[in-house]
Amino acid sequence: MFFCRVVASLGLALFFLLPTNGFSAAGDPAATRVDSFYAALLDTMKQAKQLGVKGRYDKLAPVLSNTYDLPLMSRIAVGQNWAALSAAEQQSIVAAFTRMTAATYASRFNGFAGEQFEVLQTADQPNGDKIVKTRIVQSDGTAVQLNYLMRNSGGAWKIIDVYLNGTISELASRRAEFGSILKSGGANALVSALTKQGDKLLAGG
């Protein structure tokens, strides 16, 4: 059995020397949403130098708001403390998190080096959510897998979490961060940290 698997590995590797094709997710509304997001991101990357960090922020902020359910992500990241916050505090956190997210993209995607964004396939979840599997291929052929957990919110599919290599949840990491700051300084400290981070990213571009 073991030997057979070794032979199978070797045989398949030698036989399938050409890259295989990805699954098509054409037509799926969630996949289309991610496709549009990637198109906007690529467009911004290609104009990155002319736009500058502020220009990239202005271009990406509305796209990100349409693509991500940032209010829901804020709520999840805050966790059990959410209900105890005032409406004003909740709104401040959502606004600061939204701004910081756009600032992060504006700061990081500051050029284009031949990256390719590929939407591979969509998987339906039991609760009606979808996972859109994608990968980003660098110019040297190195690929990074990014999966998006998406939910239909008010008729529009929006991203509610991002999984790197299928396992590392960005929202889980943010939740850990938010929890740590809320524990030590409360809602004001969280808004302050988010705002400061946004300022820093927008100033550094």
Q: What single DSSP character describes residue 84?
A: G
Nearer to other proteins, 12 or 155 (CB): 12
Angle at 58 between CA 103 and CA 187, to 5 degrees: 40
CA dihedral 190, 179, 75, 146 (to 10 degrees): 100
| HEC string for 73-107 | HHHHHHHHHHHHCCHHHHHHHHHHHHHHHHHHHHH
Smallest separation (angstroms) from other proteins to the CB of 180: 4
Smallest separation (angstroms) from other proteins to the CB of 34: 13
Rounded-to-integer distance, Cα 191 and Cα 183, Å: 13
- Chain center to CA of 7: 39
Smallest separation (angstroms) from other proteins to the CB of 36: 18
Residue type for position 174:
R
- CB-based contact 91:74 (threshold 8 Å): no
Rounded-to-integer distance, Cα 203 and Cα 54, Å: 9
Smallest separation (angstroms) from other proteins to the CB of 30: 15
Nearer to other proteins, 36 or 139 (CB): 139
Rounded-to-integer distance, Cα 46 and Cα 44, Å: 5
Nearer to other proteins, 99 or 133 (CB): 133
Read off the tokens for 19: 């890259």
Q: What single DSSP character describes residue 26?
A: T
